[in-house]
Structures are given as C-alpha cells and as structure tokens.
Amino acid sequence: MQISGAQMVIEALIAEEVEVVFGYPGGAIMNVYDAIYQQNSFQHILTRHEQAAVHAAEGYAKASGRVGVAMITSGPGFTNAVTGIADAYMDSVPLVVISGQVPMSLIGTDAFQEIDAVGISRPCTKHNYLVTDAKDLPRVLKEAFYLARTGRPGPVHVDIPKDVTAQIALFDYSKEVELETYKPTIKGNVRQIKKAVDAIAHAKRPLLYLGGGVISSGASDLVREFSTAMNIPAVETFMARGTLHHSDPLLISMLGMHGSYAANMAMSETDLVIGLGARFDDRVTGKISEFAKNAQIIHVDIDPASISKLVNAHFPIVGDVKNVLETLIPLAKEQVDPSRYAPWIKTIANFNKLHPLGYTEGTDRLKPQWVVQRIGQILGDGANISTDVGQHQMWTAQFYPFSRPRQWNSSGGLGTMGYGFPAAIGVKRADKGRVSINITGDGSILMNIQELMTAVEYDLPVINVILNNNFLGMVRQWQTMFYDKRHSSTDLSIQPDFVKLAESFGGVGYRVTTKEEFDAALHDAIEKNVVAIIDVAVERFENVLPMVPAGGSLFNMMLEYKDK
C-alpha cells in the first residue's frame, strides 16, 4: 500500500494487535491523530496529562503482559512524558512511546515546541528512533514492538517529524525483524544450569530470591512448582509480590529496606542464594559487603549486564527465567533431597516467631496497615492493587494478601509519586472484570488528580483509597528519625476537600474515620462501580517498620522506633 506516514502508524498498531492507546494530541502529532479519528480498530484514551498517558500504558502493560502504547506531541508534550518513560525503563515495562516532532526543515532551529526528544530519551529507553523518511516507518515500528517485548522488556521511543507523517510511501509490514546486534539469549547454558543444580543439592540453607523478572517472563507457575518440589523457602522483592501465593508456607515475605525480619535474616543466614530475575537492587541488598556474605550466588537473568553488576555471581546463567527453570527443575528433581532443608525451614520459622510482621492497634485515628489488610479481606484475589509512592506503598507491599502475578502494580526503581492513579486506570482497561484499587497518600494523589476526568469519561472505575496522614509521610519519617524531627516542607495540613473534589469530576467521594465507615464506603464504591475517592484519616506519625537505614546491613533492622 502507498499510504501516508500517519496512516502507517495506524496500520502498524493494528498489525501489532494493539487494542488501546493512551495519549494527548498536539500540533506535531496532529496528522496521526487525524488518522486515529478515521479508524475503529483500537481505542484511544485521552488522558489529561502526558505523564499520565505513559503511566496508564505502564499499568496496562503490567496487568496484561502486552506492550503498552502511549502517543504524545513534541516539546512540552514529550518532556511531560519523560518521567513515565524513565519509570518504565527502571521497572522493565514493555512500552512503545510515539512522539511527534517539528518538521525536518525546522529541527535544530529552536522552532516552536521543538525539543531534542531522542537525545533526552536516550538514557531512559531500551532504544529510540528519529524517523526521517516515511519509507522507514514500517521497519522502525515493527522493530520498536519487537525490542519492547523481547529480552529484558523496556520502553522504546519513536520520534516522528510532522512532515514525515504527511509523506506517502510503501507500507510493507511483512518483513521479519532482523537485528544484527540484538540477539537476546533465551535458553540458559545447560552446563551452568547443571552446576547450579549441584550447588542446590549440596546446600544446607538455600533461599529463592525472586525478582520482577519472574513476573515478566511468566515463570510464576514454574517457581511455585520448583519451590514446592524442592522444599526451598523464598523471599520476594518489592517487584515480585504475588509470585507465590500469600498463604504458601514456603513464602517468607518481602525482603529489603522494609522487608520482614524473617526475610532479611534468612538472606543474611543463607548459604546459597538462588536469584531469579532480580537485579540485586540497593533497596534489597543494603550494605553490599554484608549482603548474604556466607552464601554462594546463583543468578539467572535475561540481561547479561545485570549479572554480577552489584553482587558477584558464582553461577551466572544468562537466559529467560521461564526457559531456564524448564531445564533446571527436572534435573533438580533427580538430584536434590528436599528433606535436607527441614532444619533450615525450622530456623526461618523461629525468625518469624521472634519478630513477626505486625503493628499495634491505634486508639485515635485508624492504622494504615489495618486499612490495607481490610481491603485484602474484603476483595482478596478479586482486586488488582496499584499504589503511588511513599509509606502507603510499603504498607501495601507488606500487608496485602497477594495471590497471583500481575495483581500488584507500583513504581519500583524510579519511585514516582503520581504513578498510581493513571496506572490503575491502565490496569482497569486491561482487566475490566476485577476491581482496580489505587492505594495512595494525600501527597501522591494530587500529582495526577486530573485523571479523575479520564477515569469518569471512559468509564474506568478506579477506587482511590487515600491513607491521609496530612504529611509527605515517608519524608516525614526520615526527618523524624534522622533529622531530629525537623519536618521541613512535609506538613500537608492544608488540603482540598477530597470528597467534593471527586464529586466535581463526576465521581463519588467518602470521608472515613472509623472501621465501620471504611467498610461501608468500600462496599458502596464496589457496588456502585464508580470512580471513587475514599479519604481515610490515618495515624499521622505511624512509621513503616521494619526499616534498614540507608547503607546499613540487612540484619541491622530498626524493628521499632521510640520517640525521644
């Protein structure tokens, strides 16, 4: 077909079986939006901010396992989207972000709404393109989707000048992608896998260390099989919540800066770390020299650059976690005696008894941990849980009873406030059959509050539960503990009326101060199936515990904080 560059974008999205695009139009991308208007193969959702468009595409991608798509214009349209792109890069989320650019003749002239989008996106994308001829668009778009979803997933940026979207050229999408310098290793080296199995068979205190790559590769079922068959306990990173069912007796908990005592002690006492799809992030390892210092390390990851980047791997295995486990599990079943780990499991049980993850009930405001647990009791597997960033995020990771992969959706590596609500919109679009809950804070929710309009317009009922402590809670916690209570610019006592705010956008608002009121509000929001805000007054000075101070060792946790 001889068609315009703008039409090529549409045809490529159709060929990739894209069902929804999140975006915001502008001058440089107008030709493409005109082509969107004339098609009915996929839905376009107009967010109210470009950052939100990318976060919504992230939420959709995380919940569905498919490539998310966002579309934006040049200049400030693109710079507004950079936070979302960087967030996706840090958390290995497969996205294709298509941006408009000023015409070729104006590039480099400081034209209206010109910005070097490719230069800006280079450090925070898996790959990026500036398309200078419409004949290249079919190849570039096909490569973009291929790169986004293969190997270690990530965002790919395609920048298209306005005149290129108007050019007429041949559209041929039939050619297979062939990239000389991009050949991700999918299957692990069998010799290395055999060595790893031998190490497992001889270990006394092995520990599964599960990262977000397990979710990305679709390996959760195999991990469950492996853990159960081998009788090996497991810890999950923040990004891996839901890999194992919350009731699994071999799941210890989340580890890291705000991990449980048992999980962090298990990592400190293990003699063999079996790292699957994890990158040994600083929030997990704490002080590197003290991290699992008595253990050998098996590290399975599809990204060779991640292996031994921070912690030296004794048994490095480059490959997709799912494929590696398909080879490893039969070998392990032949060689490993699961009963040999019984004493180790008993030790971990003692860690749990010594300092179980919990909290004390409050006498004034509700405890935020109770709110999270109560949502889990009422909805359980029937909800997909998103969060913003802060204390509420950590309480959710600690206390929600996750039961399946892709149930949990949050900003990990970049820690982006304002992520939760638009991401929850994307999650709802991907999984309309489950309730989409965004657990947020009174600071985070205001960063993309305008997306109430998006959720209402497109009938994507997200329930926002605000754990309202009138503070930028996590920063306040650090100021309390490490800055002698100098609460600089963290008091949020002056706030909007969140109930009226929700109603002004066409949603429903609830103000909650008691357990009974919370139950009634949540049940009502679920029954009405509407966009909602539940503003919950929670204990102002509650801290997230346990806590490993920055740069500290995992075994040196703050288990309580006594006000001086």
Catalytic residue list: 50, 112-113, 162, 474
Q: What is the number of other CB atoms lying within 10 angstroms of the CB of residue 244?
A: 28
Which residues is 511 bridged to in the sheet?
535
Nearest to 205 by CA among 224, 233, 225, 181: 233
Beta strand segments in 398-461, E: 408-409, 435-441
Neighbours of 291 (CB within 10 A): 21
Half-sphere exposure of 388 (CA within 13 A, CB side): 27
Give CA–CA dist 255/353, Å, rounded. 17
330 φ/ψ angles, rounded to the nearest 5 degrees: -60, -35
On the 0-12 / 13-18 / 19+ scale of CB atoms within 10 A, 459 is exposed
- The residue whose two tokens read 């503990």 is 481
How far, in Å, are 470, 486, 549, 555, 564 from residue 481 at the CA level? 18, 10, 10, 19, 10
Residue 385 region by backbone torsions, left for phi larger than 0, else alpha for psi between -120 and 50, else beta = beta
In what helix (H) or strand (E) does residue 64 lie, and over which residues does it extend? helix 50-64
Measured CA to CA, the distance from residue 19 to residue 439 in angstroms comes to: 27
**Distance between CA atoms of 45 and 315, rounded to whole angstroms?**
46
